[in-house]
């Protein structure tokens, strides 16, 4: 889903930094998109990696107008999930979006936007699931909090909640 969003943004004239842990796929995607794209190897659970991705956007493109938080993991054992699984899911699906916004917002100008990919799973219960819906519900709430926090600076924050997607 993230790559499809990236392709659409580039097609609409945006210049993008793609942040992911999959170097081979990320570099190939950036090459296929030309000079409008840059790949940054980024573990979204590592604050230094997030800071570096934001810095690369500024270095290469001199501005950051759109932040799309689409990092996600689907591993979910429902009520049988361990504490470690909970921490990992929340770190990837929720906390990474907060930390990206923390680093990006100070360099964003009025008119910029933060887009968080929520999920219908974060709005409705799902049998046998716990981690994914809870983390996406948290991201949807974070979006609301960021929206009121960043509004005085003219920065919008919105959430898009797709239904089931296979990517």
Under the phi-then-psi rule, with left for phi > 0, alpha for psi from -120 to 50, and beta for the rest, what region is 113? beta
Q: Which residues are catalytic?
A: 132
Give the C-alpha separation, 8 to 84, whole Å. Answer: 35
Whether residue 78 contacts residue 85, with contact meaning beta carbons closer than 8 Å, is answered with: no
Return the SS3 of 130. Answer: coil
């Amino acid at each position: 889903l993230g790559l499809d969003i990236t392709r659409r943004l580039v097609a609409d004239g945006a210049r993008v930094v793609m942040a992911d842990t999959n170097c081979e796929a990320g570099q190939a995607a950036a090459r296929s998109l030309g000079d409008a794209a840059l790949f940054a190897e980024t573990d979204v659970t590592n604050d230094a990696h997030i800071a570096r991705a934001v810095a690369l956007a500024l270095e290469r493109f001199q501005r950051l107008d759109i932040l799309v938080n689409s990092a996600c993991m689907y591993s979910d054992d429902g009520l049988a999930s361990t504490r470690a699984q909970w921490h990992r899911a929340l770190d990837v699906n929720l906390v990474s979006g907060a930390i990206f916004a923390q680093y990006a917002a100070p360099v964003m100008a009025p008119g910029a936007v933060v887009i968080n990919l929520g999920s219908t799973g974060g709005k409705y219960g799902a049998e046998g699931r716990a981690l994914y819906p809870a983390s996406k519900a948290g991201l949807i709430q974070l979006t609301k909090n960021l929206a009121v926090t960043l509004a005085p600076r003219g920065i919008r924050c919105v959430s898009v909640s797709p239904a089931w997607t296979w990517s």
